[in-house]
Structure 1
């Protein structure tokens, strides 16, 4: 079952437990000081070349300014650790 949160520590912990890092799609950033489209980059053998790793500070600055929420799943239906996540608009 999926959950939604805006809590920074919950998001960071969920991502790091799965070996992920905060990232942005390189071609969508306005400049080097801001993030473009947010993604979580997971280690599936090699990192995605179109993604650029960013700091958690930069990630959460964009996350909050875009009024995003984090939709995620803790376990798969087979009770395995899930990597399912996506960004959705906040309800507020």
Structure 2
């Protein structure tokens, strides 16, 4: 079952409990001062994109300015911690 949140503390705890870090896709920022597409980078995860780790402050600034929500699953079908997550527009979460 998937949950949706915009709460920074909930997102950060969910990500860190799974060993993840906030990241951005390299080459997607408008300039060297901005953050591009947001991702969560997990250790040993498949990396289809070139990711750069960013601070939580930068992550949440972009998250809020883009009106994003965090869709995530707490447990997988096998009852282990799930790493399923994606970013959706807040209007989709309502």
The two structures have a TM-score, normalised by structure 1, of 0.92
**CA distance, structure 2, for counterparts of residue 74 and residue 45 of structure 1:** 17
2:35 is aligned to 35
Tell which deviates more after alignment, 24-33 or 42-51: 42-51
Structure 1, gaps ≥5 residues long: none
Relative to structure 1, the CA distance from residue 49 to residue 68 in structure 2 (aligned partners, 3 Å threshold; closer, same or farther) is closer
1:83 is aligned to 83
**CA distance, structure 2, for counterparts of residue 8 and residue 49 of structure 1:** 24
Q: How many residues align?
A: 92
Q: Is the 8 A contact 1:5 1:71 kept in 2?
A: yes
The two structures have a TM-score, normalised by structure 2, of 0.90
After the TM superposition, which segments of 4 or more aligned residues of structure 1 sit over 2 Å from their partners? 45-49
Deviations 1:26-64 (A, max 9, x none): 110122322100000000178777100000000000000
Post-superposition shift, 1:78?
A: 1.0
Q: Is the 8 A contact 1:24 1:53 kept in 2?
A: yes
